[in-house]
């Protein structure tokens, strides 16, 4: 059974940092060689939007609004997908979700497309306020 569990959401001041983590399990062995993984978010009153993605070739893709501030990475030892968030802004407030698809035909920036994902976590809340 596939499971995705996010953690790390918190309340921080503008300019602060957070590290989100998504523990994934239950996938077939293709999770090691053929996958897209991503972080999405829903800001208050908004739709779910892509934040960052990673494919099995190690290619990372980022939404313009987080470039230079956020970093996505997979920790193979821990079995997690992490999102390092720096220089947080008020507009970064929202619920953050991880998504994994494996196997997949998507790669590169197409891993940012929400429609590529069948498996989602329950979300973790990030609040940026002064």
pLDDT value of residue 71: 98
Kindly give, in sequence order, each residue whose CB lies less than 8 Å from that of residue 98, ignoring residues fewer than 6 positions away.
4, 6, 20, 22, 24, 37, 38, 39, 40, 81, 83, 120, 121
* 127 CA to centre of own chain: 16
pLDDT value of residue 83: 98
> How do the pLDDT tens digits run along the chain, 130 residues long?
999 999 999 999 999 999 999 999 999 888 889 999 999 999 999 999 999 999 999 999 999 999 999 999 999 999 999 999 999 999 999 999 999 999 999 999 999 999 999 999 999 999 999 9
CA 40, 100, 33, 77 dihedral sign is positive
pLDDT value of residue 13: 98
- CB count, 10 Å around CB of 121? 21
């Amino acid at each position: 059974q596939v499971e995705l569990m996010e953690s790390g959401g918190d309340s921080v001041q503008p300019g602060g940092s957070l590290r989100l983590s998504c523990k994934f399990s239950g996938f077939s062995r293709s999770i090691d060689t053929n996958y897209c993984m991503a972080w999405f978010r829903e800001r208050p009153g908004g739709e779910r939007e892509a934040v960052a993605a990673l494919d099995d070739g190690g290619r990372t893709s980022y939404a313009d609004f987080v470039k230079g501030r956020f970093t996505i990475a997979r920790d193979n030892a821990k079995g997690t997908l992490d999102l390092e968030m720096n220089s947080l802004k008020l507009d970064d407030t929202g619920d953050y979700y991880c998504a994994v698809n494996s196997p997949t035909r998507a790669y590169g920036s197409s891993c940012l497309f929400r429609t590529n994902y069948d498996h989602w976590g329950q979300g973790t809340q990030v609040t940026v306020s002064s």
